[in-house]
Amino acid sequence: MTITMADSQDAGIRPVQFLWLEITGKCQLECGHCYADSGPAGTHGRMRLPDWLRVIDEAARLGVRTVQFIGGEPTLHPDLPDLIPAAKRAGLAIEVFSNLVHITDELWDTFLRCDVGRRPPTTVTIPASTAPSPAGRRIPARAPTS
């Protein structure tokens, strides 16, 4: 079954906008404070590339705006260079939560090409009481009553 954003809105559910994808438990480091208990012996788990691609596609259709790839160290996952462009094609803003121990040239190129770390343009809402009119005057919040 595929769930769409319309389904969730019909059900009165506010769409999730931010998604963490914990794509690996592997890391070069073995920090004592690691929340995920990650380390060199960690694995990439059982999810395969098609599974992650489906998650990204469904998340975008459900209204997710931003995906953050986490781990472990997500740059150690061999499919990250495919997952990032997929998220970009799906219209998501992308973040990679990395320890920066080693980023390959291929990944740096992917980060740049897919605007990793850049936020989409923000919509700014200006209250009507302070918004300038086309003529440069301020527009009152509501019409004065006489």
Q: Binding residues for ligand SF4, per CB under 6 A?
A: 27, 29-31, 34, 36, 38-39, 71-73, 99
Q: Which is nearer to ligand SF4, 34 or 90 (CB)?
A: 34
- The span from the CA of 90 to the CA of 12, in Å, is 24
Least distance CB 70 / ligand SF4 (angstroms):
8
> From the CB of 25, what's the least distance to ligand SF4, in Å?
9
78-106 as b/e: b if 16+ CB within 10 A: ebbbebbebbbebebbbbbebbeeeeeee
What distance in Å separates the CA atoms of residue 63 and residue 4, rounded to the nearest whole number? 9
Residue (25 or 88) nearer to ligand SF4, CB: 25
Kindly state the tokens that stand for 92.
Answer: 């998501």
Closest separation in Å from C-beta 33 to ligand SF4: 6
Least separation, in Å, of the C-beta of 40 and ligand SF4?
Answer: 9
- Within 13 Å of residue 71, how many CA atoms lie on the same side as its CB? 28
Minimum CB separation from ligand SF4 for residue 71, in Å?
Answer: 5
C-beta of 27 vs 60, nearer to ligand SF4: 27
Smaller CB separation from ligand SF4, 27 or 87: 27
CA atoms within 13 A on the CB side of 49: 10
Closer to ligand SF4 by CB, 62 or 76: give it: 76
Task: Report cis status (omega within 30 of 0) of the bond before 72.
Answer: yes
